[in-house]
Structure formats: structure tokens, C-alpha cells
Amino acid sequence: MSTLTEVANEANVSATTVSRVINDSDKVNPDTRDRVLKAMRKLNYRPSRVAQRLRGKKGRSKLLGVIIPDIQNQYYSSIARGIEDVAYNKDYAVILCNSDENPDRERFYLDVLQAESVDGVILPPIHQYGTAVEGIIDTGIPVVCVDRKFAKQSVDTVVINNKKGAYSATSHLIDLNHKRIGIITSSPQFSSFQERQEGYEQALKDHDIPVNNSLIKEGDPRNSETARKLTLELLQLDSAPTALFITNNLMTLGVLKALKQQDFVVPDDISIVMFDDMPWAQIMTPPLTVVRQPGYEMGRRAAELIFQRIADSERETVEVTMNPELIVRKSTGGYKRDNER
Amino acid sequence: MSTLTEVANEANVSATTVSRVINDSDKVNPDTRDRVLKAMRKLNYRPSRVAQRLRGKKGRSKLLGVIIPDIQNQYYSSIARGIEDVAYNKDYAVILCNSDENPDRERFYLDVLQAESVDGVILPPIHQYGTAVEGIIDTGIPVVCVDRKFAKQSVDTVVINNKKGAYSATSHLIDLNHKRIGIITSSPQFSSFQERQEGYEQALKDHDIPVNNSLIKEGDPRNSETARKLTLELLQLDSAPTALFITNNLMTLGVLKALKQQDFVVPDDISIVMFDDMPWAQIMTPPLTVVRQPGYEMGRRAAELIFQRIADSERETVEVTMNPELIVRKSTGGYKRDNER
DNA sequence: GTGAAAGCGCTAACAG
DNA sequence: CTGTTAGCGCTTTCAC
């Protein structure tokens, strides 16, 4: 790996001039520039991003940090991909971190990203009132929350209208004459799940259906297993739900397993709606009715906000709320058990 | 962000001593160390990884680069996660790059990773004979190929035994009395798909079934659409296949769409086996017979190899071949069309 | 238009 | 055990 100095020698100019060429500075004689360019090519020179970062000012490190719960969750991989595509077009690279919803791990990575002098951090905060995230915001590093809000402070945020999505999913079930509608949700520490539950409850209330706490279950959003067990519990109930609203894709997998296990046929025996549209939702038998979140677009939007803030740290914080889309497919059609209507 | 020098002043020691404390160097007086530690805490000091990287020697940058085709492919997100978990335990962060199977993008990221002074790069090479990958290997940066081999040079590699996996999948179909078995594969430029096709052909030959080129289709492994169309073509054939071996998860989605579209019932009308086990495979109707690849473990293994090489750049290159597992589920059971047997 | 000098935050000899 | 000196590869004043 050759250095800037070597290029400077080769081209018979000062290091400064080479630097100017690298950075497309205006005032360089075309001839000189050509000479430098040729030397760079000859030596196969690539500027060290590390040195550039150390010396340069904030906002030019060409590095972004992303902390998500788990890249194996397809919703988050869509977001990550959206971010990366925008970053790529700006010549930025992305450090990707998985938190596993573990605050210690989140804090660790927040420290690392700071030590790496990233130009910005994008993340769904684990806790709406977490201190680690607060800390990084205070350092002045641009932060954008995606998927989940941060309640403690004003931050740029990209979220889906969770309440609305949950409301329309639940209303759809109610329109199908369901009265006993269960929900598999997760801890309200996550703003997204809290809001989804609110939307669910609001829909019930608006249709004069009492909220029944025994039909509300909180599972682990990172895997399917707790959801499977909770569904089993729900099915065992004296007055079991005739429909289920499941608040994310991983938990839906667990629900589906439980249903299969108990030989419940969808939608004949029970109707279901899942939050998140997944590639596999359409090829299920029956295809799943879903609330689609535009993960990729959310990622793109979040990245754009980061770059805006890098360019102008003074601008007002914004909160972008994207719209979920209810996609009705067969998993909520043709419900048969008359007594439940 | 406070600096090492500030800590040194605060603790009334030299910068070197602070550096020694940071790096757990042996010879530091416990009292001095305590004083430094206290100063660090007081100033909320975090060493700049950037400066450490610039000054330190190779192999201590605490950064790894990973270039995969697309993080939205769950197989690759498993690999990425495996890598990250190992890296996390060693205090490393990872820069994640998506190549989209685009050699220009692969080259771009290879340059970036080099400019970032990463300690190692993990990737499935896009071309078995690509020059960009060759270039980075020549620089001496540790490289580990995962999922796909690099043919041009000796490199540490972690792969699955693709041929064996494909062989057992195809044999399983043959055991079910299928004679006309189609394959949806992809370009042989990828070592993995090439080997899977070899395994498929070998199985046919070993069972005295002639290889029929009209039953071999090459699709785009990054999405489901070409596979959907190719399946439609296959079904239109005068002597359409009675079974299909599909060489990855994304293309299987396309096949399933085509089947649904044509009202083909699995396994009554056609049997299918997919390479890759996915969370959704079990909850399909019927559950899919699959060849499982331990993506997460492969990622872990690849990361371990990188760290081994960072520690000892002289050791022999190794090629780890992991075993695929055929998991028989209902999508290959109960085939009915007598005439096809 | 171009260069000289200084220094980002840290580690690595080399002394003592 | 601790400090001094030098410098990683680059960008940034400030001159000319």
C-alpha cells in the first residue's frame, strides 16, 4: 500500500497538492492534476480512510454505524439494506452491529461506534428511556432512530404508524365478525409493540368489544418459541380466540407452528393477521393477511436523514411516519365456526 | 471526547503510561494504574480506535470486513450473524457490504476495506477466477472465503459439501420413484451452484437415469422471479418433471409461486426439495424437504479462521467442508401420479 | 496555484 | 516501572 507522500514524490509535488487532488479541491492546475493522477495510478494508490478520519473534521469519516436487534430478522435486514444502499451511493461504509435487545451489547457497540468516529448512528433504541442512547446523542454524533422511537429526547426518527396498522388489522378481523380476538405482542418497552397493542385495543373499543386481558400475550419478538407456547395457552382457553393478531413475523412463525401442532386449519378454525409482510407470506397455504411495513424504504429514509444532519447539524429534528398497508389474503377469509361469529 | 493526553495530565503520568494501561501492558505499578483508571473514568475516556489503527501494527485494527451478495437472503444473514458473534467476543466490529453479485461493487468494497485497514475480509467470491479478490489476497490481508470457493489461489475456505447435499436430495427423489427430475440452479460461475448441479447429475447417472438438459434451468439466485418463470416453462413441457430440486431458498419461493399459480399440489402433483433450510420451511403446507446448510456455524468457523490467520500469517491454508443434512418432510412424500413413477 | 509546517490521538522503540 | 522521542498518513492553516 503506497502512501500519499510516495505519490507526491513520484509526481514531484507536495503532499498538499496530492491531498487537493484527492479531495477535488478547486485550485489545482490541470497539468499538475494529471501528473498526480498518473502517479496515483502507477503506484496503485488508495488514500487511507483511517488517516483521513483521524485528521479530517467531523462529518467526513465516511462511516456509518447501524445497531439492530438481529440481522437474521428479515424486517431488520431490509432496513439494513436500505441504509447500505444509500450509504454506498455516498461512498460510505456501514458498521453493522447486532444488539440482541441486550442493553449491555447496545452500549458496547455505541462505545465502539464512537471510538470509530462514525459520522452517524442509526438504530431502533432498545429502551425508550435508555441512557446509552441518550449519551451518544449528547456527544453530538448524529443519531436517527428507526422502527422505534426514543422518548427521552428529540431525535430524528423514522417509524411506521404502528397504531394505525394494528387498528386496521384488528378492524379487519372485527369486520369478519370475530369477537374474541387475541393478540401476541411484546414488551411495551419497545415503542413499536406498545403502539401496536394500543391500536388493537382502540379498534376493539371503537367497535364496542371489551378488551380481554386473557387474550393479550407478550412474547419474545426475537424468536418463535415463546409465541408458540403462548398460542397453545390461548387455544386451551375455555373461550379461546377465534382470531389472532400477531405483532411481528418471527412470532407468527411460532403461532403457525402451534396451530399446525393442534391441527387448527387457517382460516376455517381461526383467522390470523401478521404484522410484517414476508416473502414467504404469499406462498403459505393459505396466503397470509399482513400489515406491510416498508422496511427497505424506512432504512433508506433513515440514512437520508443522517446525511441531512451531517450536512446541517442545526436543522430541526424531524419525525417521519410511514404508512403501513393492510394486505388482505386468505388467512382471514372463509372463517367457519358459526358459534364464534 | 477526551483524549489520551488529557487523561495523562489528569493522572500526572506520561501518555505512554496511559497507553500501557489501555493495552493491559504488564509493567505498570498498581497504584499508577489505579490513578490512570480513575482519570479515565472521570473524563469518560474512550480510546480512539481510529488513532490506534493508524499507529498500531497490522492485525490489531479490531475491524473485520464482510462482503456478501445480499443481507436480505436469510442464508447470508445467518453467516453474517455467525461472524459477528465471534467478532464481538474478540472486541471486533464488522463492516458489512452487499455486493449484489456485482463485480464492480465487490471491487469497490474491497478497496474500501483495504483503505479502512481491516484485519481481515470474509466473503463468498463472485467469480471463482476474479481479479479483485486475487488482488486483496496479494496485499497480505487475511481473506477467508465462505460459501463459495476461490479457484485462482489457495485461500482459507469454509464451504458446505454442495455436491453431497445435492446428491442426497436427488437420490431421495429417485428413491421415491421419480424419473423426470428437474433442477433449478444458477450460473456455474458460482462454485456452489456448479457443485450442486454436479451432485444432481451424478445422482442421476448413478441410478441410470439420463441427464436431460431440458430439465436443467439456470435462474437468478438473488430473487424468486426468474425461478418462477422457469418453473412455468418446465411445467409446460410435454414430459414435465414430476419432481424438482431447487438449489436455494429464494428461487424456491419462485417455484412455489408458479406451482400455486398452476394449482399444482405438493407433493401430489409434484415433489420438491430445496437447498437451504429456512424458518418458514416447516410451517409450509406441506412442510418442505430440505438440505440444511449450517449458515450460522459456517460464519463462526470463517471468523475463527480469520483470527487464526491474523495470529499466524504463516500457517497453511485450510479448507473446511461442512456437512449438509437432508431433512425429509412432507413435500416429497405421497406422490400420486402413477404414470410418472 | 502551490508548498511548509503543524498536528489529529495514539503506540513503539529506546532510554533510564 | 516510567518517560522521551518520533511518527503512522493524512488535512489544514498560513504563507508565497
Least Cα separation, residue B341 to chain A (angstroms): 27
* SS3 sequence of chain B: CCCHHHHHHHHCCCHHHHHHHHCCCCCCCHHHHHHHHHHHHHCCCCCCHHHHHHHCCCCCCCEEEEEECCCCCHHHHHHHHHHHHHHHHCCCEEEEEECCCCHHHHHHHHHHHHHCCCCEEEECCCCCCCHHHHHHHHCCCCEEEECCCCCCCCCEEEEECHHHHHHHHHHHHHHCCCCCEEEEECCCCCHHHHHHHHHHHHHHHHCCCCCCHHHEEECCCCCCHHHHHHHHHHHHCCCCCCEEEECCHHHHHHHHHHHHHCCCCCCCCCEEEEECCCHHHCCCCCCCEEEECCHHHHHHHHHHHHHHHHHCCCCCCCEEEECCEEECCHHHCCCCCHHHC
Nearest by CB to residue B50, choosing from A47, A54, A282, is A54
Could you tell me the pTM of the whole model? 0.95
CA distance B144 to A211: 55
Which fold is adopted by the domain A4-47? Answer: 434 Repressor (Amino-terminal Domain) (1.10.260)
Q: Which positions in chain B touch A115 (Cβ < 8 Å)?
A: 46-50
> Rg of chain B over CA atoms, in angstroms?
25
Nearby residues of B297 by Cβ (< 8 Å), 6 or more positions away: B82, B322
Give domain B162-292+326-339's CATH superfamily: Response regulator (3.40.50.2300)
Decide: residue A218, CB within 10 A, 0-12 exposed, 13-18 middle, 19+ buried: middle
DSSP state of A330: G
User: Fold identical between B4-47 and B63-160+295-323?
Assistant: no
Residues with pLDDT less than 50, chain A:
339-341
Residue nearest to nucleotide D3 (CA to C1'): B14
* DSSP structure string for A5-22: HHHHHHHTS-HHHHHHHH
Nucleotide nearest to A14 (CA to C1'): C3
A3 touches chain B (CB under 8 A): no
Q: Omega of the bond prior to B279 within 30 degrees of 0, cis?
A: no
Nearest by CB to residue B93, choosing from A48, A97, A105, is A97
Best A3, A61, A77, A263 member to test B by mutation, with max B CBs in 10 Å, is A77
CA dihedral angle for residue A62, residue A65, residue A71, residue A74, rounded to 10 degrees:
-70
Least Cα separation, residue B139 to chain A (angstroms): 8
* SS3 sequence of A156-178: EEEEECHHHHHHHHHHHHHHCCC
Least Cα separation, residue A250 to chain B (angstroms): 9
Q: Judge whether B178 and B338 are in contact, CB under 8 Å.
A: no
Q: Give residue-wise pLDDT tens across range B32-86.
A: 999 999 999 999 999 999 999 999 888 999 999 999 999 999 999 999 999 999 9
Give the type of residue at B260.
K
> Rg of chain A over CA atoms, in angstroms?
25
Using the beta-carbon criterion (under 8 Å), do B280 and A278 form an inter-chain contact? yes
User: Using N-to-C axis directions, what is the helix angle for A249-261 and A225-236, rounded to 10°?
Assistant: 50
CA distance A193 to B153: 50
Kindly report the bases of strand D lying within 7 A of a protein C-beta atom: 1-13
- Coil vs helix vs strand at A144: strand
Question: Is beta strand A325-327 parallel, antiparallel or unpaired with respect to A289-292?
Answer: antiparallel
CA dihedral angle for residue A110, residue A115, residue A119, residue A123, rounded to 10 degrees:
-10
Is nucleic acid strand D under 7 Å from B50's C-beta? no
Which residues, by CB, come closer than 7 Å to strand C? Answer: A 12-17, 20, 26-29, 31-33, 51, 54-55; B 1, 3-5, 15-16, 18-19, 22-23, 45, 47-48, 51-52, 54-57, 60
The pLDDT assigned to A339 comes to 45
CA distance B18 to B13: 7
Using the beta-carbon criterion (under 8 Å), do A71 and B80 form an inter-chain contact? yes
Assigned C-alpha cell, A2: 503506497
Nucleotide nearest to A56 (CA to C1'): D11
Using alpha carbons, list the distances in angstroms from residue B105 to A85, A187, B70, B141. Answer: 11, 40, 12, 19
H helix runs in chain A, sequence order? 4-11, 15-22, 30-42, 49-55, 74-89, 103-115, 131-138, 162-175, 191-206, 225-236, 249-261, 295-311
Nearby residues of B249 by Cβ (< 8 Å), 6 or more positions away: B73, B74, B75, B274, B275, B276, B278
Domain A63-160+295-323: assigned CATH number: 3.40.50.2300
The pLDDT assigned to A341 comes to 42
Q: Chain B window 101-130: which residues touch A at a Cβ cutoff of 8 Å?
A: 105, 108-109, 111-117
Q: Judge whether B105 and B99 are in contact, CB under 8 Å.
A: yes
Query: What are the structural domain ranges in chain B?
Result: 4-47, 63-160+295-323, 162-292+326-339
Q: Chain A window 231-290: which residues touch B at a Cβ cutoff of 8 Å?
A: 250, 253, 256-257, 260, 278-280, 282-285
- Nearest-5° Cα angle at B51, B46 to B57: 120
CA distance B187 to A249: 32
Q: What is the pLDDT along chain B (341 residues), one digit of tens a residue?
A: 899 999 999 999 999 999 999 998 768 899 999 999 999 999 999 999 999 999 988 899 999 999 999 999 999 999 999 999 999 999 999 999 999 999 999 999 999 999 999 999 999 999 999 999 999 999 999 999 999 999 999 999 999 999 999 999 999 999 999 999 999 999 999 999 999 999 999 999 999 999 999 999 999 999 999 999 999 999 999 999 999 999 999 999 999 999 999 999 999 999 999 999 999 999 999 999 999 999 999 999 999 999 999 999 999 999 999 999 999 999 998 776 654 44
The pLDDT assigned to B1 comes to 80
- Phi-psi category of B5—alpha, beta or left, where left has phi over 0 and alpha has psi -120 to 50? alpha
CA distance B82 to A8: 43
Residues composing chain B? 341
Q: Chain B window 281-340: which residues touch A at a Cβ cutoff of 8 Å?
A: 282-285
Residue A95: name the closest of A72, A69, A68, A76 by CA: A68
Using alpha carbons, list the distances in angstroms from residue B167 to A110, B18, B242, B272, B300. Answer: 46, 59, 17, 14, 26
Q: Which positions in chain B touch A256 (Cβ < 8 Å)?
A: 283
